């Protein structure tokens, strides 16, 4: 073995000895604590029913200009989170039986008013005489807490313009009302 090898082995042995001595004499105190945490998301669940427990879907036949129809819908917050607001949208399809409507929209002839029958008389309505064709993201309720219920009354009027509305005879208007609930704003917890 050459002098370089002997010298290299000596340095390596010395380094190993120093690390064993230093590592063996190094000590410290230490303590740990744990917390067990849970993040559980709430639920947003808007349910619908009628005030009498009947069917929410309805068909009204043989309507004519000037006819009025009333229906009630109960909004129920079955979730664990409060609802900030409920938006109403109407998707519809007109079946122009005679093909004579042209640019006229049968949905523009049905006017919708929504009010809360539990409020005192004279309370402003929520939606007042809005053509069904214009119901898009209209706020119909606010601040519905978990477990709360709200009854809304709908009035539908086939508007009588005082002029001939023969183009709507036999037409059918299929409507789907969509209710969209949104959560309250986030808060510091």
Q: Are 129 and 113 in contact (CB under 8 A)?
A: yes
* In a domain? residue 11: no
pLDDT surpassing 70 at residue 124: no
* In a domain? residue 129: yes
What pLDDT score does 125 carry? Answer: 80
Q: How far is CA 176 from each of CA 39, 60, 133, rounded to the nearest angstrom?
A: 37, 14, 12
Beta strand residue intervals within the chain, DSSP E: 46-49, 68-77, 83-95, 110-115, 127-131, 138-144, 149-158, 172-183
83-109 tens-digit pLDDT? 999 999 999 999 998 888 888 899 999
> How many domains is the chain built from?
1
* In a domain? residue 132: yes
What pLDDT score does 25 carry? Answer: 58
Average pLDDT, integer, range 27-54: 88
Domain of 127 in residue numbering reads as 46-183
What pLDDT score does 116 carry? Answer: 81
Q: Are 167 and 67 in contact (CB under 8 A)?
A: no
> How far is the C-alpha of 177 from the C-alpha of 10, rounded, in Å?
89
* In a domain? residue 20: no
Task: Report the CATH number that the domain containing residue 165 is assigned in CATH.
Answer: 2.60.120
* In a domain? residue 30: no
Is 124 in a helix, a strand, or coil? coil
- Give 163's strand partners: none
* In a domain? residue 151: yes
* In a domain? residue 127: yes
107-120 tens-digit pLDDT? 999 999 998 877 76
* In a domain? residue 77: yes
């Amino acid at each position: 073995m050459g002098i370089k090898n002997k010298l290299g082995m000596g340095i390596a042995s010395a380094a190993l000895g120093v690390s064993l001595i230093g590592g063996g004499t190094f000590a410290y105190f230490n303590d740990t604590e744990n917390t067990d945490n849970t993040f559980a998301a709430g639920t947003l669940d808007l349910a619908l029913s009628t005030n009498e427990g009947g069917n929410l879907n309805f068909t009204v036949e043989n309507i004519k200009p000037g006819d009025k129809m009333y229906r009630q819908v109960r909004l129920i917050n079955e979730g664990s989170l409060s609802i900030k607001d409920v938006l109403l949208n109407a998707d519809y399809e007109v079946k122009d039986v005679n093909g004579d409507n042209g640019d006229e929209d049968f949905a523009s002839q049905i006017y919708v008013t929504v009010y809360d029958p539990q409020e005192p008389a004279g309370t402003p309505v929520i939606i007042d005489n809005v053509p069904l064709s214009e119901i898009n993201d209209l706020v119909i309720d606010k601040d519905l807490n978990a477990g709360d219920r709200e009854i809304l009354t709908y009035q539908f009027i086939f508007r009588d313009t005082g002029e001939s509305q023969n183009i709507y005879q036999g037409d059918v208007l299929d409507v789907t009302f969509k209710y969209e609930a949104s959560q309250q704003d986030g808060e510091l917890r």
